[in-house]
């Protein structure tokens, strides 16, 4: 696999994270501008944000949980040349599930749908880890 093919899902995941970061900043500034929360109040209590900026912030912060394990695994697979077609397909599926999770989280925020997206992404990531482990140590 070419480096571009292996790394493109990582860049897509990073783009999702940056998108959520910018959206979070804009929604927070808008909440302050509309008077929904005051800057002085936030100095004492950062949990005082209205619901919408909080939803977006939570989706942003979620990008530093499972995706961290994804980044590490892609780096391991890339360096050890274990990233093949199946690995790249699984990488894209993981990123798609993260995007769906963020979409649900920042939209209707249905806990059931959000959990399904999280769970499917987590299972995909676990499969990826086992796959690379088997390729490295068992010679799959």
Domain boundaries in the chain? 3-137
DSSP letters along the chain, please? --HHHHHHHHHHHHHHHHHHHHHHHHHHHHHHHTTSS-HHHHHH-TT---HHHHHHHHHHHHTTSHHHHHHHHHHHHHHTT---HHHHHHHHHHHHHHHHHHHHHHTT--HHHHHHHHHHHHHHHHHHHHHHHHHHHT--
pLDDT score at 108? 94
Length of the chain, in residues: 140
Q: What is the pLDDT along the chain (140 residues), one digit of tens a residue?
A: 899 999 999 999 999 999 999 999 999 999 999 989 887 777 677 777 888 999 999 999 999 999 999 999 999 999 999 999 999 999 999 999 999 999 999 999 999 999 999 999 999 999 999 999 999 999 88
Cα separation, 87 vs 125, in Å, equals 10
pLDDT score at 41? 73
Two tokens, residue 91 = 């990488």
From the centroid of its chain, how far is CA 57?
A: 12
Q: Note if the pTM is more than 0.75.
A: yes
Cα separation, 51 vs 55, in Å, equals 6
Q: What is the CATH number of domain 3-137?
A: 1.20.120.550
- 114 touches 28 (CB < 8 A): no
The 10s digit of each residue's pLDDT in 88-124 is 999 999 999 999 999 999 999 999 999 999 999 999 9
pLDDT score at 20? 98
């Amino acid at each position: 696999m070419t480096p571009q093919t292996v790394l493109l899902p990582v860049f897509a995941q990073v783009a999702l994270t940056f998108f959520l970061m910018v959206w979070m900043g804009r929604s927070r500034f808008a909440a302050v501008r509309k008077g929904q929360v005051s800057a002085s109040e936030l100095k004492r209590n950062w949990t005082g944000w209205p619901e919408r900026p909080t939803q977006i912030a939570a989706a942003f912060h979620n990008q530093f949980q499972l995706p961290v394990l994804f980044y590490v695994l892609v780096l391991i697979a890339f360096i050890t040349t274990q990233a093949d077609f199946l690995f790249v397909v699984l990488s894209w599926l993981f990123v798609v599930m993260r995007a769906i999770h963020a979409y649900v989280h920042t939209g209707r925020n249905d806990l059931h749908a959000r959990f399904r997206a999280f769970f499917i992404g987590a299972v995909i990531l676990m499969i990826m880890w086992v796959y690379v482990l088997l390729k490295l140590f068992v010679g799959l």
